[in-house]
Structure 1
Amino acid sequence: MKTLCITLLVATVCLGKAHALWCYRCENEPSNWNCVRSAKCAESEKFCTTIVTTTGLGKDSDYRVSKRCVPTCTENFVDTGRGSVSTKCCESSLCNISGATSVKTSGAAIAVGLLASFLYVLRSEL
């Protein structure tokens, strides 16, 4: 049993060194809760990005979030008064969990995202 645990630990560490960037992916979703699918990025894609778009004012406002892998990324925030677009970039697996434009990702948020992804994969295979 001890040998098996050590073997699994070594395998996990070795696999982590290979390119294996994973990002959450969704397109133009009205809620961050709809963005829990993760996907492995292509070798050329080095960043995860979250783009949050808001349009309108008050009760007529609309919120949309898109997440994906990208080869290059520039963070920005543009506010026109009638809407805004915010782009956030990060470089570690599943770092684009947050749909908020100004919230730093916490360890707890990453853990919840990993759990949601794991449960989604299990549900898909049943």
Structure 2
Amino acid sequence: MKTLCIALLVAVVFAEKGHSLWCYRCEDEPSNWNCMKMVKCAETDKFCSTIVTTVGRDKNSSYKLSKKCVPSCTENFIDIGSGSVSTNCCNSSFCNFSGANSVKTSSVMVAGGILASFFYIFRSGW
């Protein structure tokens, strides 16, 4: 089944390669898992965008994720202290697959902490 889905996705992406842009679309979703709806963009749309709105800080934070096709796009990040809004843009089909940059950064920080812990353990010789 996975092979069939991948083959269909490749066929869709390359069938109308001349002008069609495909993006993932969702509106105010709390999870990237809810943002997997594929849509064909209008001919006037040139970008896929991902907008992440974060409310709160640390453990009390939550975020809403919106993805869509847009005719123009400006990347930005606005931090107002009690939350933030991040806009990411890309211009190839299905390029807006990823979720929030803040979530990616957190994953990188966790991985870095784990690596630093291993380095400390091996360096101190247990």
TM-score when normalising by structure 2: 0.67
Q: Does 1:31 align with 2:23?
A: no
Correspondence for 2:91: 91
Q: Which amino acid aligns with 1:99?
A: G
Correspondence for 1:82: 82
Correspondence for 2:50: 50
Residues 1:13 and 1:77: Cα distance change in structure 2 (over 3 Å): closer
Correspondence for 2:124: none
**Per-residue CA distance 1:60-86 (angstroms, 9 max, x = gap):** 322110000000000000111110000
Shift of 1:56: 1.4
Contact 2:65/2:100 (<8 A) preserved: no
Instruction: Give, in whole Å, the separation in 2 of the partners of 1:17 and 1:76.
Output: 29
Instruction: Give, in whole Å, the separation in 2 of the partners of 1:63 and 1:44.
Output: 29
Instruction: Give, in whole Å, the separation in 1 of the partners of 2:51 and 2:13.
Output: 31
Structure with bigger gyration radius: 2
Residues 1:101 and 1:91: Cα distance change in structure 2 (over 3 Å): same
Instruction: Give, in whole Å, the separation in 2 of the partners of 1:12 and 1:83.
Output: 38
Count of aligned pairs: 94
Alignment gaps of 5+ in structure 2: 1-10, 105-126
Q: Where does structure 1 differ by over 6 angstroms across 4 or more consecutive aligned residues?
A: 11-14
Instruction: Give, in whole Å, the separation in 2 of the partners of 1:90 and 1:70.
Output: 10
Alignment of 1:14-25 (within 5 A): 15-25=15-25
Correspondence for 1:108: none
Shift of 1:15: 3.3
Instruction: Give, in whole Å, the separation in 2 of the partners of 1:41 and 1:94.
Output: 11
TM-score when normalising by structure 1: 0.67
Contact 2:78/2:85 (<8 A) preserved: yes
Percent identity (aligned): 67
Shift of 1:103: 8.2
Instruction: Give, in whole Å, the separation in 2 of the partners of 1:39 and 1:72.
Output: 17
Aligned residue for 2:101, secondary structure, equals coil
Shift of 1:59: 3.4
Shift of 1:57: 2.4
